[in-house]
A and B are shown apart, each in its own frame.
Chain A
């Protein structure tokens, strides 16, 4: 996975950068960590619960066993005031499954994904997901939800994926720079690692976010339109990661628009139009009859055609 040509100089520049990131505040953080350990057990537990519950160095670099990765939802509904985002979703994303969520615009796909990720609280029903409670769930937002002008470098962005190895206040571990390099090489971004994210193209930025996902090493990976407005070669490159994650036993759920892509690569599909139309194997879910029902469920202009090819 690591690039064979000359990893040494790049590795050095990455570690320089990360050192710089930590250097200014390292003594302070260290003393904060030390004073934390000097605090009583109760205070420590309270601090960890509120600020630092994701710190878990025992899980370093994927040596931890893969946990229960599945998600079960029961009669899940979300409303924003008067407006219903989606309702009555019941079913299971089994461990090590690769599922596409597809449906017309305004069908509640993104809201469903955010609810699974614990970002939106459900109005009714429940989500049962062990990975979420253990902070082993990764969520890739739509690109326009992130501020591309934010002053952070590519290496720093990717390094955040290793959060459980350093948490809020601790020093960065030694192996971090090397694993950042590895993740960046895997997505083909080694040459731009010292750039600011504002300087990346849309495709490069998405690759960087995938590198952060690699670093996160999560049991459940939720992706909101991961291939939107990407060129063909980037899409193909990133598609491979979805299959690889499934092979590794992770649960992958992706919101998509491209029916052809779903038919070709995704074993199972949830067809959503406010309420679930079908949730089964892809060929079964995407039958002509189901697609027609999905389109009828949301009348224009609120709803549109499902996907680009129908």
Chain B
């Protein structure tokens, strides 16, 4: 079993990467589950690309400065979330194509900005991230966002869940619907920025959605789903880091691929179970 531990024993950057991925998984579990519960996976994906132009602008002005990348990404992410809330109110039927158009535009814009100033390597860094380049400052940022996320979700889980299940009900009983939606979207953007540090703009949504989607195959209950999504995220991170270490592959895609494989296996296994008569039949 030594081969599981030795890379982390020998190299500091592997340890930091592992801790960062575990911290991300702790917040990605609840946020990803809530995103899937709300059926807003597509919206989350688009938001992840909204982080791109801001991060690119930050890069343009300050190079690889953690503060600039984070602040820029946060600003454009939140701006787009606000904009989406406004347009959704006026014409909901066009929402899908709006989102796709937006995602393409912000991706191209971001790539153009980064390419204007930086090299091919910079572009790869912004698009796919580099888990192994996470330093202590970035780790602290990730851990702070992750802690804040868990605290807010724990304190406000009740209204957050009800707002996604039956917003009309929450408004009728005076639970304040719009405020909780805004809080949730802010959390999503914050966590996308955290994931962006490690996975880049193209993959940032992956560690959030894939473990939660896999967990959903196994249970109908919210808390087990969140716990399982967190565990799956951690397992995928460990496996992905080891594969990238031994096979000399890029670590971010390896980790997301790990979650993807677990998701695929969950789909198959859950589908096979559903073919047999299960306890659901015993009404």
A interface residues, Cβ below 8 angstroms from B = 20, 24-25, 28-29, 32, 49-55, 81, 114, 117-119, 132, 135, 137-139, 141, 145-147, 149-153, 160, 163-164, 167-169, 192, 196, 198-199, 201, 216
Whether, in the assembled complex, B165 has its beta carbon less than 8 Å from a beta carbon of chain A, the answer is yes
Q: How far is the CB of B178 from chain A (nearest CB, A)?
A: 9
Complex-state Cα separation, A302 to B201, whole angstroms: 46
B151 within 8 A of partner (CB)? yes
Q: Which residues of the partner chain B approach A145 to less than 8 Å between Cβ atoms? A: 168
Interface residue? B283 (CB, 8 A): yes
Nearest opposing residue in chain B for A53, CB measure? B174
Residues of B close to A114: CB separation below 8 A: 168
CB < 8 Å neighbour of A196 from B179, B221, B283: B221
Number of interface residues of B (CB under 8 A): 33
Asked whether, in the complex, the Cβ of A24 is within 8 Å of the Cβ of B179, the reply is no
Q: Would you give the shortest CB distance from A293 to chain B, in whole angstroms? A: 31
**Residues on the B chain within 8 Å of A24, using CB:** 154, 223
Judge if B155 is at the interface, Cβ distance under 8 Å. Answer: yes
Q: State how many angstroms separate the Cβ of B15 from the closest Cβ of chain A.
A: 30
Q: Give bound CA distance, A29 to B153, whole Å.
A: 11
Q: Which stretch, B79-87, B127-135, B141-149, B156-164, touches the partner chain A? A: B156-164
Say yes or no for B18: interface residue by CB 8 A criterion. no
Beta-carbon contact of B172 and A152 below 8 Å:
no
Contact check, B169 vs A160: say whether CB atoms are below 8 A apart. yes
Contact of B173 among A50, A147, A150, A216 (CB under 8 A): A216
Residue pairs across A and B with Cβ atoms less than 8 A apart, 7 shown, are: A25-B157, A49-B176, A52-B174, A53-B176, A150-B164, A152-B161, A152-B165
Q: Does B63 contact A (CB under 8 A)?
A: no
Q: Is the CB of B154 within 8 A of A25?
A: yes
Residues in A whose Cβ lies below 8 Å from that of B155: 25, 28-29, 32, 169
Query: Known contacts A25-B155, A146-B166; can you find 15 more A-B pairs with CB under 8 A?
Result: A51-B175, A51-B179, A52-B174, A54-B173, A145-B168, A150-B164, A151-B219, A151-B222, A151-B225, A152-B222, A163-B175, A168-B156, A168-B158, A168-B175, A168-B180
